[in-house]
Structure 1
Amino acid sequence: MQQSFHSVAINPFPGKGEIVVLFAGHAQTAPDHKVGPQVLDYYLVHNVVSGSGTFQCRAQSYDLQKGSSFMIFPGELVSYASDAEQPWMYRWIGFKGNDVDRLLSKAGISADRPVADTSASRKINALLHQIELALRQGTPNCDLRADGYMRLLFAEYMNGNAVMNQTESEPLSDSKRQVDHAIRWLTLQYSQPISIEQMAASLGYHRTHLSKLFKQQTGMSPMSYLLRLRMERAKLLLAGDLTIEQIASSVGFTDALYFSKQFRKWYGTSPTQYRSILHEQGAGRFDCSR
């Protein structure tokens, strides 16, 4: 049996944000080594490298072994203990962040389901090791490196729980997924001089098929949806000091005159006239909504 040890590295430059690594470590526990019952004010994830043990949370007991991960949530009363015959060795990360709950939810992990089977992933343990190494370096950028590895770790947990999540929640249909993908693409690319043909090619869909699905689910064609995005953004920009040419370019038009014609067709007034009314009466008193 291996001799027990305990090693931990603290983040010397913890920041604030969506994910912040606080510390990382690894240990070979002694037989029957127990932690808790206790309550923490941060998140703590363990991954079992070898051996076995038990984890208790919310009146549930989980028997864990190599390839299992268990998540401790802030404010939850938990305890865990290594096996008497084969005490576990594990790695752990303590972390916090304002986006952690959402990311864990996407990975299918919650206080009611705090255990994940990661035996199929070869990357979990390696990423935990890299996070600890980054903190041990203690350089000014170690916090950024650790946070980056932490995002990759979340991605691995999401991959590992993808099948389970699909069976427990209603999966998106192929057509819904295609249209959602197209909407995200248009929302992010409307400022470029793009075409629907380019969008379909980029997403790997047939233009005619995608346009039909898009119209069925949104009530408008992809081109009309793109034009609406551009016009709504242009209307907001007209409240500022950009020239008409600059606004046209900012919403994906290479020709300011053509942009003005489209704006008039959409709102019933030219960009210049709309801006004048905004300046004279205030943006809140002029309604150009369709």
Structure 2
Amino acid sequence: MMEYIYTEPVGLTDLAVLEVGTQACSPDMAVGPCVRDMYILHYVHRGFGTYTTGGHTAHIGPGRLFLILPDAVHTYSPDPSEPWEYSWIGFTGTYAYRLFEQAGFSGSVLVRQPDAADPIDALFRELLGYRDTHAKELLLTGALYRLFGLLAIPPSAPPASPDAGPHVRKAVAFMNARYADRIGLPDIADHLGLDAKYVCRIFQQRLSMSPYRYLTDVRMRKACRLLRMQMLSIAEVARSVGYPDPLLFSRMFKRTIGLSPTAYREKARLESAGDKLPINGT
């Protein structure tokens, strides 16, 4: 299912919305390689996909934003097993570059994870509601300013209960020590002697992520180090970081890092070989 709104923002030069839309993708709905003549900001409501531009590839999941620049060659495609649903807003204007830079999109970093407390999901979903509204161009442009305003606010950690800090530190130490074992949230909660839901809540308060996300990040960092060493097979790396199933490991690695383990290892090998090349033929 796909819905669009096209606009005619006559007289708006500082910032003007040209189109908005939403799309629930099927697995084969890839876009590009191609270019567009506007900025296009996507927000992923659910599912996963891959975005490539400027020689950089990112695997993007729910709650993340990715930005397409005018005249930049880009490709994006849904994950075959969990295709994404996203909304987008296309815009132009003399203020556009300054606004998206203030919102945290700069250089090659064209993907952002907004603060979970910000109503970004709801804001994108309400855009299509302006379809039959008088002066929808002004309303859509106002919504875009509000979106950039939310993204420009520095994230602030919500207050945690006084005793949350020691619990989180103990959980972090446990995961850093036991990442190679088949542990999960029940094991972490048992180690702390706390309810699993409470553990999730204090993790979100202190670290703005779930225990599962933290454990996955630890495992992927360790996996990157092992892959760069070029000594172990992919299956051996998987088992070394707590994944008995190499296929599951490969899927999680690509989802987190943006490359398959094989591609990451080859990239690391080429970079290492490049560092060893003689300079000026000497």
Change (3 A) 1:148 1:34: same
Please report the RMSD computed on the Cα atoms of aligned residues, expressed in angstroms: 1.9
Unmatched tracts of structure 1, length 5 or more: 164-290
Task: Report the equivalent of 1:151.
Answer: 145
Change (3 A) 1:73 1:121: farther
Q: What amino acid is aligned across from residue 137 of structure 1 in structure 2?
A: D
Q: What amino acid is aligned across from residue 147 of structure 1 in structure 2?
A: T
What does 1:129-168 correspond to in 2, within 5 Å? Answer: 129-134=125-130, 136-139=131-134, 141-159=135-153
CA deviation after TM superposition for structure 1 residue 159, in Å: 2.4
CA deviation after TM superposition for structure 1 residue 23, in Å: 0.9
What is the number of residues matched between the two proteins? 157
Partner Cα separation in structure 2 for residue 162 and residue 73 of structure 1:
28
Partner Cα separation in structure 1 for residue 120 and residue 43 of structure 2:
8
Structure 2 residue 93 is matched with structure 1 residue 97:
yes
Q: What amino acid is aligned across from residue 93 of structure 1 in structure 2?
A: I
CA deviation after TM superposition for structure 1 residue 122, in Å: 4.0
Task: Report the equivalent of 1:237.
Answer: none
Task: Report the equivalent of 1:21.
Answer: 17
Change (3 A) 1:13 1:49: same
Q: Which of 114, 118, 124 lines up with 2:114 in the alignment?
A: 118
What does 1:24-63 correspond to in 2, within 5 Å? Answer: 24-63=20-59
Change (3 A) 1:92 1:32: same
State whether residues 3 and 21 of structure 2, in contact with CA within 8 Å, keep that contact through their aligned partners in structure 1.
Answer: yes
What does 1:83-232 correspond to in 2, within 5 Å? Answer: 83-118=79-114, 120-134=116-130, 136-139=131-134, 141-159=135-153
Change (3 A) 1:41 1:150: same
State whether residues 25 and 93 of structure 1, in contact with CA within 8 Å, keep that contact through their aligned partners in structure 2.
Answer: yes
Partner SS state of residue 120, structure 1? coil
Unmatched tracts of structure 2, length 5 or more: 158-282
Listed one character per residue, the Cα deviations across residues 112-152 of structure 1 (whole Å, up to 9, x for unaligned) are 11000126144112222233222x1142x211111111100
Change (3 A) 1:6 1:61: same
Task: Find the structure with the greater CA-based Rg.
Answer: 1
Task: Report the equivalent of 1:65.
Answer: 61
Partner Cα separation in structure 1 for residue 9 and residue 86 of structure 2:
25
CA deviation after TM superposition for structure 1 residue 54, in Å: 0.4
State whether residues 11 and 138 of structure 1, in contact with CA within 8 Å, keep that contact through their aligned partners in structure 2.
Answer: no
Partner Cα separation in structure 2 for residue 35 and residue 54 of structure 1:
10
State whether residues 116 and 161 of structure 1, in contact with CA within 8 Å, keep that contact through their aligned partners in structure 2.
Answer: no
Listed one character per residue, the Cα deviations across residues 228-256 of structure 1 (whole Å, up to 9, x for unaligned) are xxxxxxxxxxxxxxxxxxxxxxxxxxxxx
State the 4+ residue runs in structure 1 displaced beyond 4 angstroms. 160-163
When normalised by structure 1's length, the TM-score is: 0.51
With 106-115 and 8-17 compared, the bigger mean Cα shift is at: 8-17
Partner Cα separation in structure 1 for residue 86 and residue 146 of structure 2:
19
Partner Cα separation in structure 2 for residue 15 and residue 83 of structure 1:
40
Q: What amino acid is aligned across from residue 25 of structure 1 in structure 2?
A: G
CA deviation after TM superposition for structure 1 residue 17, in Å: 2.0
When normalised by structure 2's length, the TM-score is: 0.52
Partner Cα separation in structure 1 for residue 29 and residue 6 of structure 2:
23
Task: Report the equivalent of 2:4.
Answer: 8
State whether residues 9 and 16 of structure 2, in contact with CA within 8 Å, keep that contact through their aligned partners in structure 1.
Answer: no
